[in-house]
Amino acid sequence: MNKIQSSEITPEHVYFSRRDFLKTMGVIAAGTLSVAACSSSKLESNPDSLVDNELFEVNANSDESGALLTSYQDITSYTNYYEFSTSKKVNDRLSQNLVTSPWIVSIGGLVNKPKNFDVDDVKKMVDLQERVYRMRCVEGWSMVIPWIGFPLAELLKQVEPNGSARFVRFETLYDPEQMPGLKNKSFPWPYVEGLRLDEAYNELTILATGLYGRDLSPQNGAPIRLVVPWKYGFKSIKGIVKIDLLDTMPASLWMQAAPQEYGFYANVNPEVNHPRWSQSTERRIGDSERWPTMMFNGYSDQVAHLYRGMDLRKDF
């Protein structure tokens, strides 16, 4: 079965009413703690953790390939967010006071109707869905994450990209007062990423506002971040404040920082190694095995057609 069809679509109000109910019953904190204490492998075998899983309103324990969900604890405590720190273990602490509401995303450039969106309004406007995606970091580790989000295409259609738009450029908040990692001047801030317009419109490409049935934590990109599951994790830009439609290819932060190592496309490809390490296998966070890395991270059926005729070694 294909991934989109298999993911359950649950309206936002179901999550919220359930959560309010749990809050009233005084159990949400207890549920949070016990989920935080269990690993993804326990999700399958431990009946207590299945109860906790239900507390989070997750509709599956695995993705469509059978890969078990990474634990909530691992997803929120092992993060890359260089605006806070280059160290994965401290982003949760350093980002906990980030002000994520109100939060405005400005969409402009080659569009007929440029608009500023308030993320709180966007969440009421769209149908939030659960999408269980594998995420493969270029560093060689991976996770399986139950995102809450909606297709990027839904937001783009509202601003009516004009005929000359061919690329989308995304920019993260740049606020040195809230983001201590911005003092690190070895990166060309702000964090910028880009997609070709057809990649942006692909059904797999989502803007996520939550995971495990709850709002995103700051360290995972609250209140809104991109998720492009067939590309290396760095393309999935967090804390987005600006989106522009362009007629030329934007340069991402990583292309500017290390052009020999990071190209525009960054499609997961086990046959094209990073100049400094192999990309043929990956370490799944929460278990001890190495897994084979799959072409387009296993999403070839949905995206391979986008790159037909291209030399994926050259356009890496």
Where does this chain bind Mo ion (CB under 5 A)?
80, 137, 233-234
The verdict on 191 binding ligand MTE (CB under 6 A) reads yes
CB of 10 or CB of 269, closer to Mo ion: 269
CB of 28 or CB of 138, closer to Mo ion: 138
Contact 202, 309 (CB under 8 A): no
- Backbone torsions φ then ψ of 284, nearest 5 degrees: -85, 120
* Interface residue with ligand MTE, options 146, 151, 233, 286 (CB under 6 A): 233
The verdict on 242 binding ligand MTE (CB under 6 A) reads no
Smallest gap, in angstroms, from Cβ of residue 143 to Mo ion?
11
Query: Which residue do the tokens 């989106």 mark?
Result: 243
Kindly list the distances between the CA atom of residue 16 and the CA atoms of 69, 121, 127, 137, 213, in Å, as whole numbers in the listed order: 22, 15, 13, 31, 9
CB of 110 or CB of 226, closer to ligand MTE: 226
* Interface residue with ligand MTE, options 10, 49, 80, 85 (CB under 6 A): 80
CB of 192 or CB of 303, closer to ligand MTE: 192
Q: Which of Mo ion, ligand MTE, none is residue 83 near (CB under 5 to 8 Å by kind)? A: ligand MTE
DSSP single-letter state for residue 68: B
Smallest gap, in angstroms, from Cβ of residue 221 to Mo ion?
12
How is 154-168 classified by DSSP, letter by letter? HHHHHH-B-TT--EE
Class of residue 168 by CB neighbours under 10 A (exposed 0-12, middle 13-18, buried 19+): buried
Instruction: Dump strand ranges (E) for the chain.
Output: 104-109, 115-118, 129-136, 141-151, 167-172, 192-196, 206-211, 214-215, 225-227, 240-246, 281-284, 290-292
Smallest gap, in angstroms, from Cβ of residue 129 to Mo ion?
24
Query: Number of residues in contact with ligand MTE, rule: CB under 6 A?
Result: 17
The verdict on 172 binding ligand MTE (CB under 6 A) reads yes
Segment interacting with ligand MTE, rule: CB under 6 A, options 30-38, 95-103, 229-237, 274-282: 229-237
CB of 111 or CB of 144, closer to Mo ion: 144
- From the CB of residue 181, how many other CB atoms can be counted at a distance below 10 Å? 19
Q: Which of Mo ion, ligand MTE, none is residue 79 near (CB under 5 to 8 Å by kind)? A: ligand MTE
* Cα angle value 221/225/230 (rounded, 5°): 115
The verdict on 234 binding ligand MTE (CB under 6 A) reads yes
Nearest residue by C-beta to ligand MTE? 233
Q: Which of ligand MTE, Mo ion, none is residue 70 near (CB under 5 to 8 Å by kind)? A: none
Class of residue 124 by CB neighbours under 10 A (exposed 0-12, middle 13-18, buried 19+): exposed
Segment interacting with ligand MTE, rule: CB under 6 A, options 31-39, 119-127, 236-244, 292-300: 236-244
- From the CB of residue 100, how many other CB atoms can be counted at a distance below 10 Å? 20
* Cα angle value 76/81/11 (rounded, 5°): 50
Q: Which of 135, 132, 123, 28 is nearest to 79 (CA)?
A: 135
CB of 45 or CB of 97, closer to ligand MTE: 97
Class of residue 185 by CB neighbours under 10 A (exposed 0-12, middle 13-18, buried 19+): exposed
CB of 161 or CB of 238, closer to ligand MTE: 238
Q: How far apart are CA 282 and CA 137, in angstroms?
A: 9
Smallest gap, in angstroms, from Cβ of residue 23 to ligand MTE?
25
Q: Which of ligand MTE, Mo ion, none is residue 238 near (CB under 5 to 8 Å by kind)? A: ligand MTE
By CB under 6 A, name the binding residues for ligand MTE.
79-83, 135, 137, 172, 191, 220-221, 233-234, 236-239
